[in-house]
Structure 1
Amino acid sequence: GTAPVSLAGEFTIQVPADLMGFIVLRDAQGQVVRSWTRGYISIAQGSAWGRPGETVTCVGCHMGHVSDTLDDVMLTSLQGLTNVAPYASVIASSHHEEGNQYNPFVPWRLNDRRGWVPVPAGGPEPDGPYQDDTTGWMSALDSDVGEWFELSWPNEMTVESIRLVGPPPLGGDWDGFGEPAQFGDYYVDGGTLELFRDGNLVETIAVGRIEPLANGGGTLITLSAPTTIDQLRFTVTATTGRWYWSRVAAINEIEVLGYANGVTPPFEIRSLFLPIAPKD
């Protein structure tokens, strides 16, 4: 449905209970709004859901909650596609245990819609408050080649492209990538992407260097044709550089651009998005 937005930026809309939803801001011509001070698409999106009669207020405060790509060319939503990666559960071969409450390198950092967003052309200063420096997934220390992560969806998705985003080659998470300098800047230099449906391997794709957002928006893998999958796995086959002297496998974000083939049951939505905040 649609609802008008007031001059104060407010709107009210009724939605079905217990179903996932997201909100896209469009202009008077129906085009997605994409010009504002943060430099990317203007959208308020969340994984929120409510009980019958419940009122939910969204203030759109969470950086990176976009249904379009993190790249600076925001066209996919106009083509009927969205980033379906956040609707998958994530596991990985390992992750670096930092030992604090924030769990900065756990696998679900891969599909949380957050990354090292580059400064838009002509935008504010590089250290402006709009910058998102959220950490990504990183394997256990001194483990790189052979490390993997896997996304699994509760129902099938038709996918057209997959974007892998690497961490900043120098600095990045806790200023650790590219340290020490003698090993060079950090990159995942190669990997294997496997696509599955009903437990069967559908396609295997060799992937080269994974770029950061600041260099072309990451590494985009465009499939030869729309492909229906319910699982994917990426395995690291080569890296360069270090994270504070340690060999690691690190990916900041994954986007899977496509659409769902069916509605996800509410109980599966809850298990995906509210594992630590159950609502009875």
Structure 2
Amino acid sequence: MKHVVGFSGGVDSQACLWWARQRFGDDNVIAMNSDVGGHEHPITTEFIKQFSETVFPVVQVTPLVRDLGTRGTRPGKTRDRRQEFNEDDVLSFDRLAYIKQRFPSRKAQFCTEHLKLAPQRRWCDENLRENDIEFERYAGVRCDESNKRADTPDRTWDDYFNCWINYPIRCWTKQECFSVLKKAGEEVNPLYRMGFGRVGCAPCVNASKGDVREWSARFPEMIDKVRDWEESVGKTFFMPLVPGMEINWIDDVVKWSKTAHGGKQPMLPLIEVEADAGMCSSKYGLCE
């Protein structure tokens, strides 16, 4: 029996992996990362690489166009756009949006399936199931993350992978995840020390107002990337966020992120040291 843990480079998945290693032993655990179509920040990519080399090996999988499956197409332009690519071409984040003719959103988060789950399922089928190796999955989902996850069970059957999936840290808080890893002597993704709440994608389609402000201040090239993608796809990266605007392009969202509650009054002062990626501004007490 192998115990497969999805590893994103975020603290929740890292804590889940730590739990699995303590419970089952390193020889029986597989950590797996999907590069989500090249949408991570280089700091996250480097963190995963260093973690794999110094703490625990991480299997890397890359999304392919064929990972869209039959659910990834529909009659009309979406299917036509998919036919512009070979099935074994890399499915990058912007390529997925181009084929779908829209970016993912909170209510249609198809990036999770096509860029994370499908490539990992393919790897499990080819390397475990075809060799008659039984496996279960583990995910670092916590109940206090959102109302949708509040009733997350300890364990349930996963029809997508055709195996059991477990949520061992579902009752942990995010602060407890940081504390456990600190006691274990494991470093966490450096982006947390810079004030970010989400570190998987750069930025995530569910990024908070504060995270957008941090990306803009510290790593404006991530905003430039999104602007280029919007021009290529012809759609906005974020669903409506800016008060009073039904269509908000990335520059509108960045401008709004620098306002106080209500979206009109500028935040004063706009601290210039935010632009210094070396400054520690963690909201999780990681700077001590």
Structure with the larger helix share = 2
Band of TM-score, shorter chain: under 0.3
When you count strand as a share of all residues, which structure comes out higher? 1
What TM-score do the two structures reach when normalised by structure 1? 0.25
